[in-house]
Structure 1
Amino acid sequence: MQVLKLAAAAALALGLAACDSAPEGTAPPTEGVTDALIAAAAPEEWLSHGRDYGEQRFSPLTQINADNVGELGLAWSYDFDTARGQEATPLVHDGVLYTTSAWSKVYAFNAVSGELLWSYDPEVPRETLAVACCDAVNRGVALYGDKVYVATLNGYLVALNQSDGSVAWSTEYVPDHESYTSTGAPRVADGKVFIGSGGAEYRARGFIAAFDWDTGEELWRWHTVPGNPANGFENDAMETAAATWGGEWWTLGGGGTVWDSITYDPQTGLVLFGTGNAEPWNPAANGRESGEVEGDDNLYTSSIVALHADTGEYAWHFQQTPEDRWDYDSNAQITIADVEIDGQPRHVVMHAPKNGYFYLLDAASGEFISGTPWVDINWSLGIDPVTGRPQINPEARYEQTGQLWVGLPGAGGAHSWHPQSYSPATGLMYLPANLAGFPFFADTEFEETERGFQTGIDSAATAMPPIPEVREATLAATTGALVAWNPVTGEEAWRVDYPGPWNGGTLATAGNLVFQGTAGEEFRAYNATSGEQLWSFATQSGVIAAPMTYAIDGEQYVAIMVGWGGVWDVAPGILTAKSGTPRNISRLLVFKLGADGELPEAPPLVERALDPPPFTGTPEQAAAGARLYGRFCSTCHGDAAVAGALNPDLRHSMTINNFNAMKAIVIDGAFAHNGMVSFASDIDEEGLENIRQYVIMRANEDKALEDGG
C-alpha cells in the first residue's frame, strides 16, 4: 500500500504539471451547428445522436400522428454497398441528411429527394474486422460548426467539411489497432468532440477523450480502469479504483470501454458515459477473484461516470454491476429528463443497462433514487433501497462454483445499445428488450493468446448441443419485446412481444406514436399510450438501428437505417434466426404521408441442405477442435459452428473437405483482405486439423437432425 501511495503522489505531481500546459482549445462555434442550436433542439431538425442533449429521442412533430400514420409510405430509399449490420441514427441539418453505413462510411443526402450529395470512405482495412467484437458497424456522426465527425472502426476521429465531405482533420486516438476499435457515434459540446472506444474482450483499457472541434487536438483523456500501479496513477480516481481490483488486472487492460453511450448535460456541465465489462469476464482468469480484495468491485467498469466536460475531472460515478463477470456493460443510452418524484421536480438520469435493472439517479450528484428489475433476473437477489448496490447470487459466481451458469439476462443484455426513447407526453420510456439467457462456464486452462477474445470462458463447454429437446427449450426461452416502462412508478405500462431478440431502437413523437424496426424485417408504428400497432412496412431485412424524424417545408419525414447484423448475428448460432431467416439488405428508408414508393423485389431466401464429408477423426480430435473453435472461430462463424447471416457457415464450406484449402485461409491468411486474417500465431497445423474434424462432426450431427435422426 505504501508503494501505491508513493506512486500516486508522483502521478499527481505529473498530472498537475500537465494541467499547467494543457491545451485550452478553440472557442465553440458561433455559426452552423452551435451548442445553443443543439440545446434548443428545433423540432424540424435532428442535430445530435439522441436529437437533444438529454438523448430523449422524442420529437415534438405531430403531422404524422396516431390518426393518420396508416397513410405513411416510402418517399425514397438508398442502397448501400456494405452488406454488414447498419446501426446509425441519421442526422438532419439545413435540408441535408447525414448518416454512416458499415465500415464507417459517411453519406450526405438531400433530405427531400434522396439525391446523394457526397460520400466519404475512410478505407478501413478489412483486417480490422478480426479485432472488432461485433461486426463492422457504426452508429452515426456528430454535427458541430461546419463539420461532420465520424469515429472510424480502426480508431481515427475524422472531421469532414459539411459542404463537400472533404477531410478537415484526422486524429488517430486509440493506443493500438490490435485491441481497440470504435463503433460509437461521437458527441459534441462546449467546443469539444467526445469519443471512447471498444475492445473490452481483447486487451483494452477503457477511456473517454475530448478533442478540439476545430483542430482535432486532444484536450483531455480519462481512463475508466487504473493502469499498472508501478507506473503511478493519472489522478485520484484511478488510485481509488486500484484498491477495488485484485490480481494483475492491468496485464489484459481491464476493459471498461466507453463504446457507445455518451450524454452531455448543459444544466450541470457534466458529460456522462457508460462503461463496459471488466476484462476478462471470468475473474479467475487473471487472478482477480472476488474476495481477494475487500470491495472487489473493479471500478469503474459497468458504471455510469460523470466528468466535468471542460476539464475532464471526475465528478461522480454509480456502479450498476460490481464485480461484473457476465458482460453486463452499462453502455446503453443514458437519458436525462426532468420528472416529478414524490411531488418534487427532479433532474434525473434514466438508464436501463444490460443487467436488467432500470435506474433513476440524480443527474447532478449521481445519488441513487431507484432501481427496479424490468425483466427476469437471476444474477442478483435484490438491490439495496438506499445505495442501489445489488446483492449478487452466489451461484452466479461460476468461476467459484465450477458449475455451468445460465445467466438472466444473457450477455446480450436485457437492453443493449439499441436506443430507448422517452416521451414527456406519456411519461413512458420505450425499451427494446432482449429476453434471453446465456451460458457461462469458467475456462480453468485459460491462457492469453495473440488473437481472439480474452474472456476466460470455455465456449466449447457452453456450445449448443445437437439435442432436439435442449434446442427447442432454448429457442422457446429466447424472445424479445418492446416494453413501455414508467420510470417513476417502476411499472410496465404495456408490452409488445416479439418472436426473438435484437429488435431495433425506438423513436417517440408528440403524434402519440412509437416507431421501431424489428428483427423480423418490419418497420412498425404503435400507439404510444396503448401499444396498439397502427402501421407496418416490410423492410426486406432485419432492423437493429433506431429511427428518427424531421420536417422540411412543412412536411414531416421518418427515416431509418435497415440491415441485419451486429453481435446477435455473429454469436448465437441457431438462435440468430429466431425471428425468421435473417438476411442483410443494407438500406436507408425515408417515409412521408401519402408517398407510394416501392422497394425492388427482394432476392429469394436460399435454404442450403447440409452435405458434409464423413467424419473421420477421433473423439479426442473433435474435443480439441471444439475448444480451439470456441476460442478463435465462434465469435465470427457462430456458436457450435452454426453461423448467422453475414459470415460463412463453415458446415457448408467446401474447405472442410480439404485440409490444404483450409490451411491457406486460416494459417496462410489468403483471405486477409476480406477480414479473415491469419491465425498462425495461435493455431498450428495439428490444431487446424482438429478444428476441421470438429466442424465436420458438427455438420454431420446437424444433418442427422435435418434428416429426422
Structure 2
Amino acid sequence: MTIRNWFAAASMALALAACGDNAIEGGIDNARLVNAAQDPANWISYGRDYAEQRFSPLDQINAENVGELGLAWFADMDTSRGQEATPLVMDGRLYTTTAWSKVKAYDAKTGAVLWEYDPEVPGETGVKACCDVVNRGLAAWGDRLFLGTLDGRLIALDRETGEEIWSEVTVDQSKAYTITGAPRVIDGKVLIGNGGAEYGVRGYVSAYDAEDGDMLWRFYTVPGAPDEADEESEAMAAARETWNGEFWELGGGGTVWDAMAYDPDLDLLYIGVGNGSPWNQSYRSPGGGDNLYLSSIVALRPETGDYVWHYQTTPGETWDFTATQHIMLADMEIDGRTRQVLMQAPKNGFFYVIDRATGELISANNYVPMNWATGVDMETGRPIEVPAARYGETGIPFVSTPGAGGAHNWHPMAFHPGEGLVYIPAIEAGFPYVPEADWEPDTARGFNVGVDMAAGALPADEAIREASVAGTKGALIAWDPVTQTERWRVQYPGPWNGGVLATGGGLVFQGTAGGQFKAFAAGDGSELWSFPAQTGVVAPAVTYTVDGEQYVAVMAGWGGIWALAPGGILNETSGPVPNISRLLVFKLGASGELPPAPPLQRRPIDPPPFRGSEEQLASGNYAYGRYCGQCHGDAAIGSTVLPDLRRSAVLDNGDTWMQIVHDGALGFNGMAGFSDSLSADEVEAIRQYVIFRANQDKELGGLGLQGS
C-alpha cells in the first residue's frame, strides 16, 4: 500500500469511527491497542498507536479554520519543573503525568479534576536524574494505568479511581537508576526501561505481568561481569566479544530510557539503546570495539525478550550519541516496491530508514550539519568517522557538531502519511569533548563521563558566550524519508523546542522554547496559528474528540537538561524562559484566557568578595562542572527552573552552604548532600568558584544575555 492509499484508508476509518465517539466499553485489550490507529476519538498509547507515528486523521480543526482555535480549559500543575508528558485520552477522560512522577486525571471536555496520585518519590532521587525530574507518560491495559517513577518503581493504578493496585521496584535503588520514560504494553506485558548511564549503571529493558506485577523477562543491553558469561544468550555472548578491559566495573551504560515501538504483524518489539558509561570509550573499553548494544536499535520477541536483530547507529560510541530517540514504523514505497520500514533520527545527526523485518539499512543521510563523520557507508552501515573526532584516542579536544545534546533529543517526531513527511524537532549545536587526564570514576554522585565538564562549559567571556548563542539553533524540519532530503524547515533562534503532532487537517503542532504553541501547514511549513503559553513548551501535543468536538492538548512547562545546563545561556535571546507548568487544552471557537503571567522575580547578582585561592578556584571549577553544572547551569549561569547559585542568599555563609551541599539539609526538595563524593574542602572550593563567577558577571552588569 502506498502512503497516499494508506492515508485514504485512514480517512475511511475515521468516517467509520465517528459514530462511536469515545466508545471504549470495558478495558484496553490487545485488539484495541493493535487497532488504535482506527480509533481517532481517543489517544490510548504513548505514540497514539504501536507504530508511534503521532498522526491523527482528525480534521475538524484544519488549515482553513485553525485561526479560530482558542483555549477551552487549562489546569495548573503543582510541580514547577520540566513537563514532558504525552496525555492519554479514554472515555472522555484525560490522564497525564507530571514532574516528580505524579499522575492527574481530568474530564477531557471540561477540565474538572477527577483524581490525583502522588507516588511520593523521595526528593533525594533528584540528583540521580541527569536531565530533570521529568516523566513522559503512562500506558494503559484493562482498567489500569501504568507509571514508571523517577526512583525506579513500576506502578499499576486503577483507571477509574487512581488507587494503587501494585508497585514493583525495577532497579537497584542503591545505584543511580531513574525512570523518566513512558511504559508500553504488549498483550498484557508492561515494558519499562530506565536511565542513569551518565552515573555508571548497566542498561536493560524488562517485562512485567500487568495483572500482578511479576517480572516475566529482562534483556540486558550490555554484558555484565565475567562470572555471568556462562548464563548468557548467544546475543550477549556475541556482544561481549566487542568489549575490552574491565568495562563491567563502570556499568557499561546502554540504558533504554525512551523509545520503543511494536509491529504486531511481525511480532517484533523495537527498543532504542543509549550511550556508554562513561562516554569516553578509552576509559570504558580500552582498545576500542563496537561495544554492543550501545547506541543501537534492537528487535526483540515481546513474549520472551529474545534477541532477533540489531542495527548499531554509532559503533564504539564516545560522544553520548544515544539511539534512544523516537522510533516510528511505516509502510512506504521505495524504489518501486512497498517496504516495511523503521525510521529514526538519533542524536548522531543521521536519519535512518531500516527494514524492520531484517534490520537491513535501506538509506541514511544527515539531517543537520555535522563534522564528526562524512556520511554512512551503505555496505557496512557504519558512519564514516573523522579521525580527530575520537578525542579519547587522540588525547586532543574535539568540538563536535552535533554535540552531546544531540541533533535530535527525546522530543517525539511525527509522520504525516498524506504528505509522506517526518517532522523532526532538530537541534544545531556543538559540544567540546575535552578528554580528562587521570579520570577516576565516582558512582556515588559523580557525572561519570570521562570528559572534563568544566572545560566543556561555556566560558565566562561574554563575547564568546554571545557567539555560542548565535551558533546554537533549533528547527522544525520536514524530512522526506524516501529521498532523504529536507522539504522545508521552520528555523528557531534556540534549541529544545517541543515534540510534534501531525493531523489529517493538514496541520503540524509544536511548542517552542520561547513560549509559543504553534500550528503549521503540513505541506509547506507556513505558520497558521500561535498561542502565547507563557512558558517553554517541550512536550508533544495530542488530539481527541468528545461529543463530536475535536480538542488539542499539550503539557507546558520549561525544563529538561537543556533548560538546566546550557539553557541559562543559550535560550536567552529574548529574555529568560520561566517555568509555569500547566496543561493547555484547545478547541475551535473557545475564548478562554490564561491569567496574566506573573513577573519573573530573580535575586540580583550581589555576591561577597572573592577571597579564595587559585588552588580553590581550580578545584572548585572542576568539581562544579562534574557535580553541579547539569542542574545549576554551565559556568554557574543558572536557569529559571532551579536556583541560580550566583544569586544565592547563602553564598556569604560558608556554614549554611556546607549544610546544604555537603550534609544534604535540603534533600527533601531534591538537593541531596554530596558527602559521599566531595570533602568539606571541595565543597568550600565550589562555593569560592561560584563567588568568583558571580563577581565576574556582576562586573558585566549582571550578564548581558540574562539581565540582573
* TM-score normalized with structure 2 length: 0.94
> Which stretch shows the higher mean deviation, 484-493 or 666-675?
666-675
Alignment of 1:653 with 2:648, yes or no, is yes
Distance 2:545 2:702 in 1: 55
For structure 2, the residue ranges without an aligned partner over 5 or more in a row are 1-23
Match of 2:404 in 1: 411
Offset of 1:623 from its aligned partner?
Answer: 0.8
> Which stretch shows the higher mean deviation, 682-691 or 560-569?
682-691
Q: Is the 8 A contact 1:285 1:444 kept in 2?
A: no
Over 3 Å counting, the alpha-carbon distance change for 1:386 and 1:708 in structure 2 is closer
Partner SS for 2:453 = coil
What are the residue-to-residue correspondences of 1:422-461 with 2, within 5 Å? Answer: 422-449=415-442, 450-461=444-455
Q: Is the 8 A contact 2:29 2:187 kept in 1?
A: no
Partner SS for 2:657 = helix
Over 3 Å counting, the alpha-carbon distance change for 1:684 and 1:51 in structure 2 is same
Match of 1:670 in 2: 665
Which AA in structure 1 matches 2:280?
A: N
Distance 2:703 2:434 in 1: 31
Match of 2:559 in 1: 565
Q: Is the 8 A contact 1:576 1:644 kept in 2?
A: no
- Alignment partner of 1:702 out of 667, 690, 697: 697
Distance 2:174 2:300 in 1: 26
Number of residue pairs aligned between Structure 1 and Structure 2? 676
Distance 2:326 2:620 in 1: 39
Match of 1:105 in 2: 102
Offset of 1:708 from its aligned partner?
Answer: 9.1
- Alignment partner of 1:462 out of 456, 460, 478: 456
Match of 1:538 in 2: 532
Q: Deviations over 1:266-317 (max 9, x none)?
A: 121011010100110012234x23xx25xx1110010100001111100000
What are the residue-to-residue correspondences of 1:513-528 with 2, within 5 Å? Answer: 513-528=507-522
Q: Is the 8 A contact 1:637 1:648 kept in 2?
A: yes
Which AA in structure 2 matches 1:160?
A: L
Alignment of 1:371 with 2:369, yes or no, is no
For structure 1, the residue ranges without an aligned partner over 5 or more in a row are 1-28
What are the residue-to-residue correspondences of 1:174-253 with 2, within 5 Å? Answer: 174-232=171-229, 233-253=231-251
Q: Deviations over 1:117-162 (max 9, x none)?
A: 1111100001000111111100000111110010011111101111
Which AA in structure 2 matches 1:647?
A: L
Match of 2:72 in 1: 75
Alignment of 1:345 with 2:338, yes or no, is yes
Which AA in structure 2 matches 1:173?
A: T
Over 3 Å counting, the alpha-carbon distance change for 1:708 and 1:583 in structure 2 is closer
Offset of 1:399 from its aligned partner?
Answer: 1.6
Q: Is the 8 A contact 1:155 1:177 kept in 2?
A: no
Match of 2:150 in 1: 153
Distance 2:463 2:565 in 1: 21
Q: Is the 8 A contact 1:527 1:533 kept in 2?
A: yes
Q: Is the 8 A contact 1:131 1:452 kept in 2?
A: no
Alignment of 1:48 with 2:48, yes or no, is no
Offset of 1:445 from its aligned partner?
Answer: 2.2
What are the residue-to-residue correspondences of 1:1-40 with 2, within 5 Å? Answer: 31-40=26-35
Over 3 Å counting, the alpha-carbon distance change for 1:707 and 1:641 in structure 2 is closer
Match of 1:12 in 2: none
Which AA in structure 1 matches 2:338?
A: P
Q: Is the 8 A contact 2:296 2:311 kept in 1?
A: yes
Q: Deviations over 1:188-226 (max 9, x none)?
A: 112211110001111211101111111111111000000
Offset of 1:706 from its aligned partner?
Answer: 2.2
What are the residue-to-residue correspondences of 1:478-517 with 2, within 5 Å? Answer: 478-517=472-511
Match of 1:18 in 2: none
- Alignment partner of 1:685 out of 680, 686, 701: 680
Offset of 1:377 from its aligned partner?
Answer: 1.1
Partner SS for 1:361 = strand
Match of 2:279 in 1: 281
Over 3 Å counting, the alpha-carbon distance change for 1:161 and 1:607 in structure 2 is closer
Match of 2:62 in 1: 65
Distance 1:673 1:191 in 2: 36
Q: Deviations over 1:153-174 (max 9, x none)?
A: 1111101111101111111111
Partner SS for 2:321 = coil
Offset of 1:533 from its aligned partner?
Answer: 0.2
Q: Is the 8 A contact 2:365 2:375 kept in 1?
A: no
- Alignment partner of 1:315 out of 296, 301, 308: 308
Distance 2:375 2:527 in 1: 34
Which AA in structure 2 matches 1:214?
A: E
Partner SS for 2:304 = coil
> Which stretch shows the higher mean deviation, 399-408 or 536-545?
399-408
Distance 2:217 2:541 in 1: 32
Offset of 1:30 from its aligned partner?
Answer: 10
Q: Deviations over 1:38-75 (max 9, x none)?
A: 22220111110000110000001010000000000000
Offset of 1:31 from its aligned partner?
Answer: 4.6
Over 3 Å counting, the alpha-carbon distance change for 1:372 and 1:217 in structure 2 is same
Offset of 1:654 from its aligned partner?
Answer: 2.1
Match of 1:529 in 2: 523
Q: Is the 8 A contact 1:615 1:697 kept in 2?
A: yes
Over 3 Å counting, the alpha-carbon distance change for 1:579 and 1:91 in structure 2 is farther
Q: Deviations over 1:90-130 (max 9, x none)?
A: 01111111110111111111111111111111000010001
Offset of 1:607 from its aligned partner?
Answer: 5.2
Distance 1:242 1:90 in 2: 39
Partner SS for 1:657 = coil
Q: Is the 8 A contact 1:212 1:219 kept in 2?
A: yes
Q: Is the 8 A contact 2:71 2:587 kept in 1?
A: yes
Offset of 1:608 from its aligned partner?
Answer: 4.4
Partner SS for 1:345 = strand
Which AA in structure 2 matches 1:635?
A: Q
Offset of 1:254 from its aligned partner?
Answer: 0.5
Which AA in structure 2 matches 1:284?
A: S
Match of 2:550 in 1: 556
Which AA in structure 2 matches 1:122?
A: P
Cα RMSD between the aligned structures? 1.5
Offset of 1:386 from its aligned partner?
Answer: 2.4
Q: Is the 8 A contact 2:407 2:426 kept in 1?
A: yes
Which AA in structure 2 matches 1:377?
A: M
Partner SS for 1:338 = strand
